[in-house]
């Protein structure tokens, strides 16, 4: 009887040739060099871009001391020590139309929110806290000197450093830059990311399926995940499973992109040519990771481009992209990789697992009526069951040494807000 020696596969819990997932993450980040090319863009186009040059303020924000309320501007020295005092109304200050005169003792100016404080005044009494008698008002002693006034430069002072280079700009940041009167921003150029799928079984949407064929969903999920990272996307389509076609796609992609991503063709089967092509044209840094889903993950370089060879199964594509590729894109874009949110939750499900590799199962978490975080898995967890990702709002992280989870056990979850 012949004893057959099995090679480790993606179904095994342990493969000595696989790299620890955390070490793989660090290898990837250590290999990434941020791009240095920059461009100037109109402010509205700077959303979700990375600041290339420090942004400093040329003005105070606010530019003038102004009222935070609709009310009456007075001198703090006129606030009564007890009882009440009467003030003569001498004019009105509007936002954009200041009161030009001086305010004398026991006088006041009607003032609107945002209007510049009249000369000699330093306190605003809310309109709801006064009694009006024709051209006079009465206030009581329950007022504080300087109340309801925003000082010039209270938000930002002239020459303050507002954003350092590497800042990833979001909506509030764009508004803040606009408040400085800045209309264009120097940003790091967009990364160019090329991707393609391999597999003779793949069919583009719109064509009828024949026996053994499936629609290529991976290019759509990859496109969407890349679009959220605001990169220049280069979709090279579906490449046939031949050494010549895969090699030509590698060459074309590496000539036009900073990062090249493939899906499929990395498992080592007779028709899987991604790893061998990368070895021929570039450098393989590693091609197996101790995790599920996503053990067959190739990482390397081809010409000046970074290469990621993702598995072909739809769930594995998404898991490996979020765990490995996204942070690499963020670092190459010049920003700090986004920190992952990690929470503790009680499991409502029994989760099967054997030691030997980390697992990222898909779950749905919520906060119960007692304020506790709870999570349950999204049904079957196979690497080809894309609904397990579509229904989920978090990854359930199971460490390498875990032997499974019982209902009620406390586990670690990674909410999808960390990624998307």
Do 294 and 410 fall into the same domain? no
Domain edge (last residue) among 150, 180, 210:
150
Kindly report the CATH number assigned to the domain that includes residue 394: 2.40.340.10
Do 200 and 246 fall into the same domain? yes
Integer CA distances (angstroms), 18 to 14, 43, 66, 314, 399, in order: 8, 46, 64, 21, 15
Do 50 and 29 fall into the same domain? no
Tens-binned pLDDT, residue by residue, of the chain (420 aa): 555 444 454 444 445 567 888 999 999 999 999 999 999 999 999 999 999 999 999 999 999 999 999 999 999 999 999 999 999 999 999 999 999 999 999 999 999 999 999 999 999 999 999 999 999 999 999 999 999 999 999 999 999 999 999 999 999 999 999 999 999 999 999 999 999 988 888 888 888 888 888 888 889 999 999 999 999 999 999 888 888 999 999 999 999 999 999 998 665 554 468 888 999 999 999 888 988 876 788 999 999 999 999 988 889 999 999 999 999 999 999 998 888 899 999 999 999 888 888 999 999 999 999 999 999 999 888 777 888 899 999 999 999 889 899 999 999 999 998 776
**7 belongs to a structural domain:** no
According to DSSP, the residues that pair with 360 across neighbouring strands are 397
Q: At a CB cut-off of 8 Å and minimum separation 6, what does 144 contact?
A: 79, 123
* pTM (2 d.p.): 0.84
**402 belongs to a structural domain:** yes
Do 33 and 52 fall into the same domain? no
From 212, 393, 395, 252, select the one nearest 319 (Cα to Cα). Answer: 395
Do 48 and 178 fall into the same domain? yes
Phi then psi dihedrals of residue 122, to 5 deg = -150, 10
Do 112 and 132 fall into the same domain? yes
Looking at residue 76, what DSSP letter applies? Answer: G
Please give the Cα distance from 317 to 344 (Å, whole number). 26
Do 182 and 43 fall into the same domain? yes
Integer CA distances (angstroms), 120 to 86, 87, 99, 239, in order: 18, 15, 12, 76
**Domains identified in the chain, total number:** 4
**265 belongs to a structural domain:** yes
**250 belongs to a structural domain:** yes
Residue 397 · residue 409 · CB < 8 Å: no
Instruction: Specify the pLDDT at position 10.
Output: 45
Integer CA distances (angstroms), 269 to 225, 266, 391, in order: 28, 8, 31
Domain edge (last residue) among 332, 354, 374:
332
Q: Which residue range forms the structural domain that includes residue 313?
A: 21-37+190-332
**236 belongs to a structural domain:** yes
**4 belongs to a structural domain:** no
Kindly report the CATH number assigned to the domain that includes residue 48: 3.90.105.10
Do 367 and 283 fall into the same domain? no
Please give the Cα distance from 279 to 197 (Å, whole number). 19
Kindly report the CATH number assigned to the domain that includes residue 138: 2.170.190.11
Do 210 and 221 fall into the same domain? yes
Instruction: Specify the pLDDT at position 163.
Output: 97
Instruction: Specify the pLDDT at position 225.
Output: 95
**10 belongs to a structural domain:** no
Q: Tokens for 319, please give them.
A: 């898991």
Kindly report the CATH number assigned to the domain that includes residue 305: 3.40.980.10
* Secondary structure string (H, E, C) spanning 185-204: EEEECCCEEEEEEECCCEEC
**172 belongs to a structural domain:** yes
Do 71 and 53 fall into the same domain? no
Do 31 and 46 fall into the same domain? no
Domain edge (last residue) among 150, 174, 198:
150
Do 176 and 212 fall into the same domain? no
Instruction: Specify the pLDDT at position 272.
Output: 64
Instruction: Specify the pLDDT at position 14.
Output: 43
């Amino acid at each position: 009887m012949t004893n057959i020696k099995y090679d480790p596969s993606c179904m095994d819990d342990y493969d000595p040739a696989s790299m620890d997932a955390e070490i793989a993450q660090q290898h990837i980040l250590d290999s990434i060099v941020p791009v240095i090319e920059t461009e100037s863009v109109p402010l509205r186009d700077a959303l979700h871009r990375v600041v290339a040059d420090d942004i400093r303020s040329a003005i105070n924000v606010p530019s003038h001391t102004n009222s935070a309320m609709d009310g009456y501007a007075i001198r703090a020295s006129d606030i009564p020590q007890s009882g009440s005092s009467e003030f003569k109304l001498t004019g009105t200050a509007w936002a954009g139309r200041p009161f030009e005169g001086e305010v004398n003792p026991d006088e006041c100016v009607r003032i609107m929110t945002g209007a510049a404080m009249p000369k000699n005044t330093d306190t605003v009494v809310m309109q709801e806290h006064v009694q009006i008698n024709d051209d006079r008002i009465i206030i009581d002693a329950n007022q504080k000197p300087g109340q309801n006034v925003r000082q010039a430069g209270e938000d930002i002072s002239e020459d303050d450093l507002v954003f350092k280079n590497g800042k990833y700009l979001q909506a509030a940041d764009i508004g803040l830059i606009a408040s400085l009167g800045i209309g264009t921003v120097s940003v790091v150029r967009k990364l160019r990311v090329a991707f393609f799928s391999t597999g003779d079984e793949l069919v583009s949407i719109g064509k009828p399926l024949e026996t053994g064929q499936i629609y290529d969903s991976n290019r759509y999920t990859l496109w969407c995940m890349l679009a959220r990272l605001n990169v220049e996307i280069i979709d090279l389509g579906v490449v046939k499973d031949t050494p010549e076609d895969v090699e030509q796609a590698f060459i074309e992609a590496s000539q036009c992109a900073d990062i090249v991503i493939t899906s499929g063709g990395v498992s080592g089967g007779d028709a899987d040519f991604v790893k061998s092509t990368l070895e021929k044209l570039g450098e393989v840094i590693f091609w197996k990771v101790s995790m599920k889903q996503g053990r067959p993950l190739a990482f390397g370089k081809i010409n000046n481009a970074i290469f990621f060879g993702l598995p072909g199964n739809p769930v594995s594509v998404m898991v490996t992209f979020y765990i490995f590729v996204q942070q690499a894109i963020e670092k190459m874009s010049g920003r700090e990789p986004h920190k992952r949110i990690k929470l503790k939750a009680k499991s409502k499900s029994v989760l099967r697992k054997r030691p030997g590799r980390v697992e990222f199962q898909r779950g749905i978490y919520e906060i119960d009526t007692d304020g506790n975080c709870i999570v349950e898995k999204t049904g079957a967890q196979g690497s080809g069951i894309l609904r397990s990702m579509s229904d989920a709002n978090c990854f359930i992280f199971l460490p390498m040494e875990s032997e499974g989870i019982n209902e009620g056990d406390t586990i670690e979850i990674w909410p999808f807000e960390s990624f998307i």
